[in-house]
Structure 1
Amino acid sequence: MTPPPIKVTCSNCNLRELCMPTGLNEQQLHRIDDIVATRRKIKRGSTLFRNGEDFTALYAIRTGFFKTCVATEDGRDQVTGFQMAGEIIGLDGIVHDHHTCDTVALEDAEVCVMPFDRLEELSREVTALQSHVHKVMSREIVREHGVMLLLGSMRAEERLAAFVLNLVQRLHTRGFSSSELVLRMTREEIGSYLGLKLETVSRTFSKFVEEGLVEVKQRHVRILDTEGLKRIVNSQHACE
């Protein structure tokens, strides 16, 4: 039996600064509270929305980790991104009014549901909200360009180093350690995202350990030499 939706307010959420615009007055915050009326719990391995489903809402992640993926012509799942608390997902559905990917929870998660028609209506009145939605969309475009750079011109070591640095930086923004992280995704999923084989991901992690850059215990990764990882990422520019 599905539990009833839980009322939540943006005005007292500890992730407000990450997924909501700043500078809103109390009245504007309450109006957004009325839109974000419910939150949904998603069990690990369950799908929040699927490719082809009607687009009705954006989702702000309160807790947990997600991956987005699309099915390739040969039936494989291609991972297109990893999303965490404070980030907004569902933007893929805006263009054609239906979703173009599957979004799967990598651990038990919770999202705030923001019906898009009501969000759009309020955005016309609250310019700060409209600007924020545009920034979120722009951030997605920048992220896509970053992935294209990863897949188009970087060696395996550069791809994995950039991935680890980006992940720990995003987590640090949310109050976590700047040098330690727990990988919520499998090495196979990392490989799918980075365009690498599973064996290459495992071998590259081992290489980083041997070189004293990281310490790896199953899914727990501790960065020992941040500057060393940055040098790997920037090495191609030094060679140009």
Structure 2
Amino acid sequence: MDAQRIKVACSSCNLRELCLPMGLSAEEMGQLDTLISSRKRVKRGEALFSVGDRFTSLYAVRSGFFKTCVTTADGRDQVTGFQMAGEIIGLDGIVSDHHACDAVALEDAEVCVMPFNQVEELSRQFTPLQHHVHRIMSREIVRDHSVMLLLGSMRAEERLAAFLLNLVQRLQARGFSPSEFNLRMTREEIGSYLGMKLETVSRTFSKFVDDGIIDVKQRYVHIKDTEALRRIVNPQTCS
């Protein structure tokens, strides 16, 4: 068997609550085990898939971090999202049967491979799975709208504060600290995602440190005042 593809069971995975629907019977979980029957390792800097690749599967991130990005007309990489354990990537390929972005590992990672034709077939049999797939798609749409709001109306401080709050919230849902984490992405990648220049990202991080809101040591971030970040994003809630 290819060393890159290892048998793994959904029913015993500690991330199943994050990437699979709740309320399935033991029999239904067994059928899902046959659907998500392999996983693939992706080394840091390697692409899980690239623009133009034929779309065949969805991928549940089992470990590690990814970024999705597209290349602009002038040759720059534009980061469109960051994905972590328990999240699904590859939905961009459904519309045209080819991927519309690159998915690149920011650290050594593993993904569970879910052939999309089997996902569709099982979705027709299991209403909870069908609803879950629809919810994942809806979440992507909502996330896209949130990014448009970030880029269209927020100042630099608001953008970075919203980004840090979203990141720590997602990490906390996976059992990590609600206030301390290591950034897997560079400041340049954060800037690309938030529509900010590298210098602006660095300056805004420094301002948050000077204001006593966070501590930063290279990629280590400690959020000392979560409420202060929330007030930056939603100043109207300030008393």
Q: Please say whether Structure 1 and Structure 2 have the same fold, judged by a TM-score greater than 0.5.
A: yes
Task: Report percent identity of matched pairs.
Answer: 71
Shift of 1:238: 6.4
TM-score, length of structure 2 as denominator length: 0.98
Cα distance in 1 between the residues matched to 2:172 and 2:4: 33
Q: Which amino acid aligns with 1:75?
A: G
The corresponding residue for 1:166 is: 166
Asked whether the 8 Å contact 2:4–2:39 carries over to 1, the reply is no
Question: Equivalent residue for 1:128?
Answer: 128
**Structure 2 residue aligned with 1:22:** 22
Whole-angstrom CA distance in 2 between matches of 1:5 and 1:164: 34
* Alignment-mate amino acid for residue 9 of structure 2: T
Q: Match for 2:169: what amino acid?
A: Q
TM-aligned CA deviation for residue 5 of structure 1: 1.5
Structure 1: where are the runs of 5+ without partners? none
Q: Does 1:105 align with 2:105?
A: yes
Offset at 1:3? 1.9
Aligned pair count? 238
Structure 2 residues not aligned, in runs of 5+: none
Q: Distance in 2 between matches of 1:36 and 1:166?
A: 28
Within 1, Cα distance between the matches of 2:219 and 2:59? 27
Cα 1:214–1:4 shift into 2, 3 Å: closer
Q: Is the 8 A contact 2:47 2:102 kept in 1?
A: yes
The match for 1:220 is 220
Equivalent residue number for residue 36 of structure 1: 36
Q: What root-mean-square deviation, in Å, do the aligned CA atoms of Structure 1 and Structure 2 show?
A: 1.3
Contact 2:51 2:100 in 1 (8 A): yes
Deviation at 1:4, TM superposition (A): 4.9
Name the CA distance, whole Å, in 2 between partners of 1:72 and 1:107: 24
Residue 234 of structure 2 aligns to a residue whose secondary structure is: helix
In the alignment, the residues of structure 1 paired with residue 44 and residue 228 of structure 2 have an alpha-carbon distance, to the nearest angstrom, of 34
Q: How big is the shift at 1:7?
A: 0.4
Aligned to 2:73: 73
Give me the whole-angstrom Cα distance separating, in 2, the residues matched to 1:213 and 1:170.
Answer: 19
What SS does structure 2 have at the residue aligned with 1:151?
helix
